[in-house]
Amino acid sequence: MASAVTAVNSGMSVRRAAKEYNVPKSSLSDRVTGKVKHGATWGKKPIMSSIDEKALIEAATSRADSGLGFSKGNFLEIMLYIVFVLSLKTQIFNLQLVFDT
């Protein structure tokens, strides 16, 4: 996509660049006109880093390997603890946790 944008900025038509670089014409046009910012990606940004996610998965796996249960509620409880301890900025909607009493 970046090569196609560069080609259009160098004078090539959007239609020709889309065909040569095998990218959708409308997507290329959106990037050239500024409708979509350079470097934009689809989807939301992750809440946790991949390192934190791996640590959470390792904790769940080690509990499972030792025969301990790990419910969805437990998993979400630990995930929220990590999010709040790391002071990650996030919005979590419709999340209901069941705490063991």
Exposed e or buried b per residue across 44-70, where buried means at least 16 C-beta atoms within 10 angstroms of its C-beta: eeebbeeebeeebeeebeeeeeeeeee
- The reported pLDDT for the residue numbered 57 is 83
pLDDT one-digit tens code per residue, 72-95: 887 888 777 777 777 665 555 445
Task: Tell me what the mean pLDDT of segment 8-21 comes to.
Answer: 92
CA distance 67 to 38: 49
Where are any strands of DSSP class E within the chain? Answer: none
CA distance 83 to 88: 5
CA dihedral 78, 84, 85, 89 (to 10 degrees): 130
Write down the pTM of the prediction: 0.44
pLDDT one-digit tens code per residue, 17-54: 999 999 999 989 998 988 888 777 777 777 677 887 88
CA dihedral 73, 79, 81, 84 (to 10 degrees): -130
Higher local confidence (pLDDT), 55 or 33 = 33
Is pLDDT at 67 greater than 80 in this prediction? yes
Task: Tell me what the mean pLDDT of segment 7-14 comes to.
Answer: 92
Is pLDDT at 99 greater than 70 in this prediction? no
